[in-house]
Amino acid sequence: MLKKGIPVSPGIAVARAWVLDALLARHEPSRLEAAAVSDELLRFDRALDAAGHQLDAMAKRIDEQLGSKEAAIFQGHRLLLRDPALIGKVKSAILHRRIDAASALHEVLEEYEKLFGQIPDEYLRERLTDLRDVITRLTTHLLEKAPHLACLDGEEPTILVAFEILPSQAVLLEKVKAAGILVEAGGTTGHAAILARALGIPTVAGLPGICKEIESGDLVALDGRDGHVYVRPDAETEAAFRKLQREFVLLRDKLVENRDLESITPDGEKVELLANVNGLADAEMANRTGAVGVGLYRTEYLFLTHPDVPDEEEQYAAYKSVIEASPNKRVTIRSLDLGGDKLLPYFGHEREANPFMGWRSIRLCADYPDFFLTQLRAILRAAVHGDEVQLLFPMIARLEEVRFVKRMVRKAERQLAKAGKPFADGLRIGAMLEVPAAAINVDRILDEVDFISIGSNDLIQYLMAADRDNPKVAHLCEPFDPAIWRLLSRILKACEKAGKPATLCGEMAARPRCFLPLFGLGLRRFSMSPAFVPTIKQIVRCSPRDVGRRAARGVLKRITQPEIRRFLTRTTRAVCPDITFLDTQK
């Protein structure tokens, strides 16, 4: 069976599938022997206790850092853990039907979903979200040592199949030998795509119904370059894909050998290749692949993978470790970029019609100034351990927001000085250009900041009015539309005129076909997933300045997306033929 999805992360994979769902793992109910029932009941009780202690600790810490209103969410979850009806249904299924606790929880959730779906009251229907969170938490504790997940700890590579991969599941991707990823939702620049590319895992998104069409154990062949997925391929198709896989790996490994070579064009123009990182493991990988620094440290992943809310000391330790492990101890640290597709439960469950355009990033931090100051103090303290550390603020739309964050930085500095704690003062401050309003007003923004980082992922989706995680419109978020290139040209000209550096740190920076016109427009700093540094370095070393300028002129004079895509495919192939093999083909 052939399926066609959205190519997200290039690469070829042939392996057995493991189907995941929103509760981390979908599996057939385990039928228990009579003697095992009491042990399963005890295991469920232990999961209840563990989840309860975790929620108590979270409520206490969140009350201290954010306030009682936010902590009340977890106090409510704690009450659900004591609900005799919920507990009784699960224990009854274990005792009388002899099924495992995780399956019993899943069945209970499905029962409540049907029940809540019939309730007209919107508020009561929203409480299903709380129930789902509690059941997910319990299931997580149950699955930590569950026998049916043993295959994920083995040596055999696995293709993970899921509705979506959440940021909090990044740890899962790092622990298992994921040969590939297939997801129903998402596009080329969502969080699943970013995580997959950071780890170099071939990925295809936008595959509706794939979780039902594949069973765990099925052989799957996927091509993350063109989005083709073969479920239960015949022998000829399997052999062809395994050959492609060997060729892809050989070329990728060959490129890694350029780690110690300079990123310099044939006519002597230097280009800085930086890494986007989510944590310590990515920073270490940036060293191995030849990046010269970290152009974007996404601090929100510390929060998304933390059991509750990290305090100042935990944040300081995490930031310090990343700075010390980064190439040349050179790091641009971005403040929290939460909201949109990266949600934390302690900021409430209010649903927004357009979350990417709503209460997120700097807007969220402005409403929680003490929470924001805690992060700023931790960053300023950690910065003393680096050789070049910069502060970057996301989702800037107005000049007033730049001035606000600068005031907050100064306030954090005064607090640290008063406490007698060492910190780095006078850090360079930058704004992330991802809101079109800020991009249009870039000359005014440049008057207030030391540098600009272009967040192409969000900039493109806002410019095109297309949700990048919606498969139906994800094609609009590809970086080939003429409007995108005209706006980028305007931004880079403004930065050149102001004499202030610009870095492109969206996923566009890692697209081989985008390098030449960006270089031709004057961009000299590219920040990308560490796995892509060798590929882009190879293009740099093949690309004279005049070729880049011709590519830029060619892009700016073309008037449709298909024309630009075809032009860049031809141009890149002429300069560096092998590289197009490593790029997605959309």
The span from the CA of 223 to the CA of 10, in Å, is 7
How far out from the chain centre does Cα 449 lie? 26
Of 302 and 76, the structure prediction assigns the larger pLDDT to: 302
Q: What is the pLDDT of residues 331-390, one digit of tens each?
A: 999 999 877 666 556 565 556 667 677 778 888 888 889 999 999 999 999 999 999 999
Under 8 Å between Cβ of 429 and 408: no
Architecture field, domain 266-582: Alpha-Beta Barrel (3.20)
Q: Using one digit for the tens of pLDDT, what is the confidence trace for 102-144? A: 888 888 888 887 777 666 665 555 567 678 778 878 887 886 6
Q: How far is CA 63 from CA 134, 342, 451, in A?
A: 19, 21, 36
Determine whether 514 is an active site residue: no
Active-site hit among 77, 106, 141, 191: 191
- 511 — phi, psi (to 5°)? -85, 115
Per-residue burial over 31-46, b if 16 or more Cβ lie within 10 Å, else e, is: ebeeeebeebbebbee
Active site residue 191: yes
In this structure, are strands 158-162 and 178-183 parallel, antiparallel, or unpaired? parallel
Per CATH, which fold does 34-145 belong to?
Enzyme I; Chain A, domain 2 (1.10.274)
- Six-digit token string for 255: 């490129």
Strands 2-4 and 178-183 turn out to be: unpaired
Q: What is the DSSP string of 437-485?
A: HHHHTHHHHHTT-SEEEE-HHHHHHHHHT--TT-TTTGGGGSTT-HHHH
State the average pLDDT for the chain. Answer: 86
pLDDT tens digits, 477-526: 889 999 999 999 999 999 999 999 999 998 899 999 999 999 999 999 99
Quote the percentage of the chain above a pLDDT of 90. 49
Total residues found in the chain within this entry: 586
pLDDT at 148: 41
Say whether domain 2-24+148-252 belongs to CATH 3.40.50.1820. no
Q: With a cut of 80, say whether residue 24 has pLDDT above it.
A: no
The residue from 211, 505, 542, 576 that is catalytic is: 505
DSSP state of 528: E
Asked if 337 contacts 278 with a C-beta cutoff of 8 angstroms, the reply is no
Q: What is the model's pLDDT at position 579?
A: 76
Q: How far apart are CA 528 and CA 295, in angstroms?
A: 8
Higher pLDDT, 148 or 406: 406
Pick from 364, 380, 370, 421: nearest CA to 64: 370
- Mean pLDDT across 462-479: 85
Q: Domain residue spans in the chain?
A: 2-24+148-252, 34-145, 266-582
Mean pLDDT is lowest, of 34-43, 53-62, 105-114, 142-151, for 142-151
Residue with tokens 């990044």: 170
Stated pTM of the model: 0.77
Task: Quote the DSSP letter at residue 384.
Answer: G
Task: Yes or no: say if 261 and 537 are a contact pair by the CB < 8 Å rule.
Answer: yes
d(CA 553, CA 547): 10
The tens digit of pLDDT for each residue in 389-440 reads: 999 999 999 999 999 999 999 999 999 999 999 999 999 999 999 999 999 9
- Residue 200 — pLDDT band, cuts 50, 70, 90? confident
Give the C-alpha separation, 490 to 480, whole Å: 16
